[in-house]
Chains A and B, each alone.
Chain A
Amino acid sequence: MNYEQIIKRYIPHYAETAVHGNIIAFEVPSSEIVAVCESLYLHHQAPLKIITAFDERQENGLFRIMYAFGLPKENLILAPYIRVGEDFPSLTPSFHEASIYERKIRTFFGLIPRCHPNPRPLILHENWPENIFPLRKDFDWRTRPEQAGGEFLFRKLGGEGIYEIPVGPVHAGIIEPGHFRFSVAGEEILLLEPRLGYSHKGSEKLFEVLPLADKLRLAERISGDSSFSYALTFCQALESLSGTVVSDRDKYLRVVFAELERLANHLGDIGAIMTDSGFNFGGAQCGRLREAVMQIKERLTGSRFLRGVAKIGGVTPVLTEDAARETSESLEALKMDFEQVMAIAENSNSLMNRLRNAGILSYAIARDHGVLGVAGKAVGLAADARVDYPYAAYHELGMEVATEKAGDVHARFSVRIREAYASIELIRQALGVVPQLAGEVGAPGLKFRRDSFAIGIVEGWRGDIVCLVATDSSGEISRVDLRDPSFLNWTALGYAGQENMVPDFPLINKSFNLSYSGNDL
């Protein structure tokens, strides 16, 4: 479909559209926004990618709230927006996925979502004053507000023999901070409420003040295990804003690094799932395999976590033909190694018994909460940014989205295994092409479109990472919003835990392995 057909099909006739890169934006009166979004989300089944707000009171005295919906086949984003003063109509009564975004806007911008069923603050805790909204432009990032003394109310269950188990935010193991409140009868979990925000760093606000090179470094550090994916998402948004062209060679190299990151993390997770079920053999072996991938990354780039690898307009390392061949050979050996380990693991009845039927996430819950990535694929939601919104060189490489049906720990385990194999295959395909390609196109004298915005979408190893960047009238970056897949997946974790035994929860949690830092920003 060309633009005109798309505009005719998806966008109300009264709206004026503006094209920003791959985004078609149009303003809608706030009274119409619910109907417009319902039509896109419910009728056309366009996946919601992000809802975010901008403080434009200096320009026109109003806030702007933008809703980005993806059109997977077209690789386009439809972005209706409204301008509002103090409150805005909530979409949550129409579709639940919007809820978490609206709560975030409520917390950070102080705009009230009308008719939202659960407008509790998100990420910021009760010690943060209720009337200070950190993402408003008139909030200086250096101010340190007074400690407030609010109270956070967890959902309560009454009844005989029901007790609460508070876990975290400090845990016995070395994991990120998060609090989980279990309401338990005996060993059965009746209600589970995760509470996050302990690693909130004010990253979105920092994006507004740091110089450009530091913005990229900050993007790499949003969630440390996804450094490359985050940097790539941010770079893609900036490349779209500045019209920078990436060379073919660098496009393939981006695939190589992104898949190495995915491979290392999946191997680590597959091992961690086995360790948490007590299957130590598999845990130790996969830990070893993950380390092998980390060392490949270090050999190729000098950084185990691929820090400093992505840059606007390409990637920094140059891959020699020898290095490409060597990497390809190491991966072939690693694949055979991995196959042997998995053959033993899949033959272990005791392991399979722990994984199957534990932590089942239903398709309906997953769909309604917009669950992404591994957890989504494990219930059969085949969304994958590499296929839906192809970037780098993915459209030239063959890949299938690995999906399962069961939605239990075993399904998430299997999705990871299949994705790990697929990653090895993708890397080897890409490495076969890289040396023949030309590098370096135009040096970047970066200039961004004024009063514009761009969205980068990258399939990180947890699911798709979305980065929305907006510029002001002088072409400076005025707002960056990053949406980690964990932001949505956390909302569904409680449902996967319900009706399971308390001692199975760590295993269920590990099978999701969500990011705290990426959620808390």
Chain B
Amino acid sequence: MNISEIPYWLLQIMLIPALSPFFIGVTCRIKAIMQNRRGAPVLQPYRDLRKLFQKDEVISEDASWLFRAAPYLIFAVTLVIGASIPLVTTALPNSYTGDFLVVVYLVALGTFFLALAGIDSGSAFGGFGSSREMMVAALTEGGLVLSLLTLALISKTTNLAAISENIGSLPLTSFTPIILAFISFSIALLAETCRYPFDNPATHLELTMIHEAMILEYSGKRLALMEWASANKYLIFIALGANLFFPRGIAGSLEFVPVMLALALFAGKVLLFCLAIAIIESSIAKLRIFRLPDLLFTSFVISVIAIGLVN
């Protein structure tokens, strides 16, 4: 590794965990404004994390090592993914974990341990949270993999940085399958990040929860890690959506000016995603749980069509 790459690698690794709470805060703030509320400051999630890191924990007597280890593992997984996907530049060589299948199944690994941790404490809420999460995750996988596969087929590579570079250089006329794949990916994004219409991140009703039900037994530092990991996952999926489907503006080299411009543009794109998600969460009701599969199948079918359109 060239010594001049180090600052850019640091940026790449730090960007997701450093900014993810901010964008959670931004989404909440936009939602609040759209609902005629003032809302908490956008930096509130950082304060919540600091508060939780200072708190003691209560761990159920019935919980095993798995319950204790899961937050570290899940958080670490999001760090690895965050370091592997194209964020502001496509020029960082990353041939091991930068493959889209690796990323998708690293996400699945996190989900797997999250679900195990939910069951592990023995609480009924964790149990049904995990069971619902597994139902949603299993059905999301198809749309997620196939929508990214569409991009891989178009650019004839499975490396995410290469996909990003390639899609950015395509003429506008070849965008039909990409737009279809993006629609399919967006549905998967909402499901994977526990957003409307799948899950309500703001709910306090135990019986309706999916993600929150699994982490209900966590407190203190481990809860902070869980919350932080889910914020990371949120930003990771938005970054994938922004940089794979609309990669224009991402830096193709490791020079200061293009990277900084790309960073600003990246922040702008993420804000647009946050705005769209906030609009969805303010304007529709959550779906009934057994209507979720319909939506996920739609995602699957659209991405199949997208693949069919790739020439």
Q: Does chain A bind chain B?
A: yes
Chain A residues close to B by CB (< 8 Å): 163-167, 171-174, 184, 187, 274, 276-281, 283-285, 288, 348, 350-351, 353-354, 501-507
- Decide if B37 touches A172 in the complex (CB within 8 Å): no
User: Which B residues lie within 8 Å of A350 (CB)?
Assistant: 197, 284-287
User: How many contacts A-B (CB < 8 Å)?
Assistant: 89
A249–B11 CA distance with the chains assembled, in angstroms = 74
A285–B36 CA distance with the chains assembled, in angstroms = 8
A288–B281 CA distance with the chains assembled, in angstroms = 19
Given A279-B284, A284-B37, A288-B36, is A506 in contact with B290 using a C-beta cutoff of 8 Å? no
**Set A167, A187, A278, A288: member contacting B200, Cβ < 8 A:** A278
**Distance (Å) between the CB of A222 and the closest chain B CB?**
26
Q: List, sorted by A's number, 25 A–B pairs whose CB atoms are closer than 8 Å.
A: A165-B124, A165-B125, A165-B207, A166-B124, A171-B204, A172-B216, A173-B205, A276-B205, A276-B208, A278-B200, A280-B35, A280-B281, A284-B37, A350-B285, A351-B284, A353-B287, A354-B285, A354-B286, A354-B287, A501-B288, A501-B290, A503-B132, A504-B208, A505-B207, A507-B208
A173–B196 CA distance with the chains assembled, in angstroms = 20
**Set A284, A351, A504: member contacting B35, Cβ < 8 A:** A284
Question: Which among A283, A354, A503 has the greatest number of chain B C-beta atoms within 10 A?
Answer: A503
User: Which B residues lie within 8 Å of A283 (CB)?
Assistant: 35
Chain B residues close to A by CB (< 8 Å): 31, 34-37, 124-125, 127-128, 132, 196-197, 200, 202-208, 216, 281-291
A163–B131 CA distance with the chains assembled, in angstroms = 13
User: Which B residues lie within 8 Å of A502 (CB)?
Assistant: 128, 207
**Distance (Å) between the CB of A243 and the closest chain B CB?**
50
A506–B207 CA distance with the chains assembled, in angstroms = 7
- Decide if A284 touches B36 in the complex (CB within 8 Å): yes
- Decide if B282 touches A280 in the complex (CB within 8 Å): yes
User: Which B residues lie within 8 Å of A167 (CB)?
Assistant: 206-207
User: Which A residues lie within 8 Å of B286 (CB)?
Assistant: 277-278, 350, 354
- Decide if B290 touches A187 in the complex (CB within 8 Å): yes
User: Which A residues lie within 8 Å of B216 (CB)?
Assistant: 172
- Decide if B205 touches A353 in the complex (CB within 8 Å): no
For the complex of A and B, 6 pairs with smallest distance between CB atoms: A278-B286, A284-B35, A173-B204, A506-B205, A279-B285, A165-B124
User: Which B residues lie within 8 Å of A281 (CB)?
Assistant: 34-35, 282-283
User: Which A residues lie within 8 Å of B207 (CB)?
Assistant: 165, 167, 502-503, 505-506
User: Which B residues lie within 8 Å of A285 (CB)?
Assistant: 35-36
A174–B207 CA distance with the chains assembled, in angstroms = 15
**Distance (Å) between the CB of A231 and the closest chain B CB?**
31
Given A165-B128, A166-B124, is A278 in contact with B196 using a C-beta cutoff of 8 Å? yes
A425–B200 CA distance with the chains assembled, in angstroms = 37
Additional pairs, 12, CB under 8 Å, beyond known A280-B35, A288-B36, A348-B284: A167-B206, A173-B204, A187-B290, A274-B285, A278-B197, A278-B203, A281-B282, A354-B287, A502-B207, A503-B208, A503-B288, A504-B208
A173–B207 CA distance with the chains assembled, in angstroms = 11
- In the complex formed, the residue of B with least CB distance to A279 is B285
